[in-house]
Amino acid sequence: MTKFQSFWFSDAIAKEKNIKINELSNNINTDICVVGGGFTGLWTALKIKEKDSSIDITIIEKDLCGSGASGRNGGCMIPQSTKFLAMKKIVGVEDAKKMVKASEDAVYNIRDFCIQNNIDAKIRIDGVVYAATNKSHEGAFEDLIEDLKEKKINSWKRLSKEKIQELTGSERNIDGYYSAIGGSLQPALLIRGLKKIAEKKGIKIFEHSAMLSYKENNNIIVKTKNGSIGCKKLIVAINAWTPSFFPFLSRSVILVSSDMIISEPIKDKLENLKLNNGLVILDSNLFTHYCRTTTDGRIILGKGGNTFSFNNKVIPSYDGPSTIENYLKKSLVSFFPSLKNIKITKSWNGPSERTKTGFPFFGYHPKNSNILYGFGYSGNGVLTCYVGGDILSCMALNEQNSWSQSNFCKGPIKLFPPEPFRWFGAIIIRNAIRRKEKAEQLEIKPWWIDRQLAKLATSIGRVDKEKYKI
């Protein structure tokens, strides 16, 4: 097992008794082999099994299920509605509407699945808030809401300054929007629960069994350290690690860390702030701060857009404590001054794969349609991975429907420049965004060049700024 883990994963493993690790130690055959025991891999396998219980499915995971990105994220359930303006331009109105509705439905579908299968993933559906912390971010959703209302898919409402401060417990927030559709969960507990249910349904899962290579004969042969799997179809669901096996996707994403801290239990302090619920709070920056609490009275604060990797290598720092822990502590106190003296229990980070569009994509290997992939969740995977399971299950079963025929299933839509231009460009733009957002917070007009550079990265944000003045 990986030496350093997120708080979520350590917590989830501590709750399990008599953990049995089943490694692949011989050569086997299966109908469908899924590589990756995270959200995408497990949801895909479960949905295929639900559609056709006779299909033999095998999942292999390089570590333990939940030890990767799925067990390292913030556990925030955030629908895709805030990206609708940009999404409809890229994939079309109907596909964009379908993704918005599916990601919203996923909030309740995940909850219902957990209830039906006795998975205690600490799910709380208390909504999502996008808050403005300075005047330049006020009114960020007005054009978006107008469009969502026109398409009859709007769930957002603007709140007064007083209401947004009461709801978020922070006087830094001067404007904002609330949707009741969203909330939070413990991601690693969900993953470990999905693993158990998958095994009960007859899906074979081998941990500590990384895919080393694959080759194509009459069947596809997946090689691991101590065995191999012959399969008719191969589904690769390893997110940030995908380009290392599929070089043709090397320019489709850029890897960057998302960093988090979690506090000691502080129930009394959170009750004073009225944050004893599952609400997710985000600011309107491109590199968003996201904040939520846990059922045992802790607070978590995270921020994306920090450490970029060169040539999409999953670098060692992604598997360790946050490199910006002190910054995150200061940010937490800036939002909640009363938490100045609390202790931080743990910090961590993980690789987030950002696409040029800000949306995930799915596709077939260009030389073999029996090899499928899906990734690029761009920091918003808790709900979208559930949708990804729907999409990949349709593709794997050759279902001709609105998902399999959608523009999300045509592989990467836009590409980043090749290295070293991608990495240097990312650093230049990141630093420009940081300067711009610091100036905005100080109510100073940002430099013109920083405003222009920031426009090149609007897709990375959680807030759709297609029409929003940046």
- Rounded (10°) angle between helices 93-116 and 187-200: 80
In this structure, the answer to whether residues 11 and 129 fall within a common structural domain is yes
What rounded mean pLDDT belongs to the chain?
94
pLDDT digits (tens, 9 = 90+) for 17-29: 888 899 999 999 9
CATH number assigned to the domain comprising residue 94 = 3.50.50.60
Residues 6+ positions from 330 with CB-CB distance below 8 Å: none
Least confident of 64-68, 138-142, 263-267, 461-465: 461-465
Mean pLDDT value of segment 437-442 = 91
What DSSP letter does each residue of 416-467 carry, written as one string?
PPPTTHHHHHHHHHHHHHHHHHHHHHTT-PPPHHHHHHHHTTGGGSSS--SS
Residues 323 and 438 in one domain: no
What pLDDT score does 1 carry?
47
**Mean pLDDT in residue range 298-325:** 92
| 432 and 387, same domain (yes or no) | no
Average pLDDT over residues 153-180: 97
**Which of residues 409, 432, 452 is at a domain's end?**
409
The stretch 158-180 carries a mean pLDDT of 97
User: Are both 112 and 212 inside the same structural domain?
Assistant: yes
Percent of the residues in the chain that have a pLDDT greater than 70, as a whole number: 97
Pairing of strands 128-132, 280-283: parallel
Query: Considering the domain boundaries, does residue 32 fall inside one?
Result: yes
Neighbours of 165 (CB within 10 A): 18
Q: Kindly state the average pLDDT of the residues 437-465.
A: 82
Residues 64, 89, single domain; the answer is: yes
Q: State how far Cα 375 lies from the chain centre.
A: 10
Residue 142, in any domain of the structure? yes
Residue 184 has pLDDT above 90, yes or no: yes
Burial 101-111 (b: 16+ CB within 10 A, else e): bbbbbbbeebb
Q: Which residues lie below 8 Å from residue 234, measured CB to CB, with a gap of 6+?
A: 32, 33, 35, 214, 220, 222, 370, 371, 372
Q: Does 324 reside within a domain?
A: yes
| Beta bridge partners of residue 303, listed in sequence order | 259, 289
In this structure, the answer to whether residues 284 and 216 fall within a common structural domain is yes
Backbone dihedral angles phi then psi of residue 347, each to the nearest 5 degrees: -130, 155
Question: 225: domain range?
Answer: 7-409
> Average pLDDT for residues 140-163, to the nearest whole number?
96
Cα 128 to chain center, whole Å? 15
Shared domain check, 26 and 53 = yes
Considering the domain boundaries, does residue 182 fall inside one? yes
The residue-averaged pLDDT of 227-246 equals 95
Q: Which of 221-235, 335-349, 425-439, 453-467 has the lowest mean pLDDT?
A: 453-467
Q: Which pLDDT band, with edges at 50, 70 and 90, does 468 fall under?
A: very low
Q: Are 205 and 327 members of one domain?
A: yes
Q: Token pair of 465, please?
A: 């700024």
Give me the mean pLDDT over the 77-97 stretch: 95
Same domain, 441 and 373: no
13 pLDDT exceeds 60?
Answer: yes
Q: Is-contact 58 34, C-beta < 8 A?
A: yes
Give me the pLDDT at residue 394, please: 98
Asked if residue 161 is part of any domain, the answer here is: yes
Residue for token pair 């940002």 = 446
Beta-strand relationship, 344-355 and 361-365: unpaired
184 close to 280: Cβ distance less than 8 angstroms:
yes
Question: Does 225 fall in a domain?
Answer: yes
Which residues, in sequence order, are CB contacts of 171 under 8 Å at separation 6+? 165
Are residue 301 and residue 436 in the same domain, yes or no?
Answer: no
Q: How many domains does the chain have?
A: 2
| 467 in any annotated domain | no
In this structure, are residues 463 and 288 in contact, taking their beta carbons and an 8 Å threshold? yes
DSSP strand E in 297-442: where? 299-308, 344-355, 361-365, 368-375
The CB density around residue 413, as the number of other CB atoms within 10 Å, is 16
Is pLDDT of 469 > 50? Answer: no
Mark whether 349 and 428 lie in a shared domain.
no
pLDDT higher than 80, residue 445: yes
- Is residue 469 one of the residues assigned to a domain? no
My answer on whether 452 and 354 are in the same domain is no
Side chain identity at residue 446, one-letter code: P
Predicted confidence (pLDDT) per residue in 335-391, tens digit: 999 999 999 999 999 888 999 999 999 999 999 999 999 999 988 999 999 999 999
